[in-house]
Amino acid sequence: MSPIPSRPLRERARTPGAAELAGIPWLAWLEPDDQAMARNSIVMASTGPGEQICRIGRPATYWFGLVDGLLKMSNEPGAGAPITFTGVPPGAWFGEGTLLKREPYRYNIETLRKSTVAGLPVDTFHDLLARSIPFNRFVLNQLNERLGQFIAARETDRLNDPDTRVARNLAALFHPVLYPGVGSLLRITQQELGYLVGLSRQRVNEALRSLQVAGLIAIEYGGLRVLDLEGLRRYERPD
């Protein structure tokens, strides 16, 4: 694993490139003046494996989006049983609930591999909420879809079958609204998926083989391709 950079993320911020801005889904929703304001406010930063983007108890100063890489949302290590709330694949924007309430983070966001993160300052986030109906609609859709995601995750946590847990967690990473940048192919290793699901790499490998035999996914070099997303969401291992 690469060493965690010593300089804070804020000090490594840079201006985004045109291609990076073009990959931000909600920018296209905005009116020209609001889009220009957002473009001038967004910053980018590169992160190393194990680096925390958000930390429990810290104030929320940015609305974050993942341009490239993989993140996980979890509880504080040592505070009871470790819990991974969700994985965060490319294309995701997260933390809007915390910004809306202007409260400290109640979860950690950690990078699982080298990643590129975008940030919209909290003041710009609230300016857009105050003046842009399209931005409000996007944030409302995010909150609605995320609520459904966490209800499904709660149900998944109660499952004892590892194959079914892997299937449901994998389906969550292909959410077309929350994670539009994923498409049908997710670049993820079996070790990384194990971190998100809470299983060993070997047990994840067994589950993925079963899902491939069932025709739900295809295991490809460096990633996983979903062939039947609804099938993954409904999957239950045959008795």
Q: What Rg value do the Cα atoms of the chain yield, rounded?
A: 18
CA 25 – CA 13 distance, rounded (Å):
21
Q: Which stretch of 26-35, 61-70, 103-112, 178-187 has the lowest confidence by average pLDDT?
A: 178-187
CA 214 – CA 210 distance, rounded (Å):
6
* The pLDDT of residue 2 is above 60: no
Cβ neighbours for 135, distance < 8 A, ≥ 6 positions apart: 26, 29, 30, 34, 128, 129
208: confidence class by pLDDT, cuts 50, 70, 90: very high
Q: What is the pLDDT of residue 83?
A: 74
Q: Which of 120, 127, 100 is nearest to 40 (CA)?
A: 120
Q: What is the pLDDT of residue 184?
A: 83
6: confidence class by pLDDT, cuts 50, 70, 90: low
CB 6 within 8 A of CB 51: no
User: Between the CA of residue 181 and those of 11, 65, 74, 171, 177, what are the distances in Å?
Assistant: 27, 11, 22, 14, 9
Q: Which of 22, 54, 53, 49 is nearest to 35 (CA)?
A: 22
Q: Which of 148, 69, 145, 60 is nearest to 107 (CA)?
A: 60
Q: What is the pLDDT of residue 61?
A: 93
The mean pLDDT of the chain is 88
Fold of 161-234: Arc Repressor Mutant, subunit A (1.10.10)
- Domain residue extents for the chain: 9-152, 161-234
CA 132 – CA 139 distance, rounded (Å):
11
pTM above 0.75, yes or no: yes
φ/ψ of residue 220, rounded to 5: -120, 165
Q: Judging by DSSP bridges, how do beta strands 43-47 and 93-94 pair with one another?
A: unpaired
Q: Could you confirm whether domain 9-152 is CATH 3.40.50.10860?
A: no
CB 196 within 8 A of CB 72: yes
3-state helix, strand, coil in the chain (%, to 5): 45, 20, 35
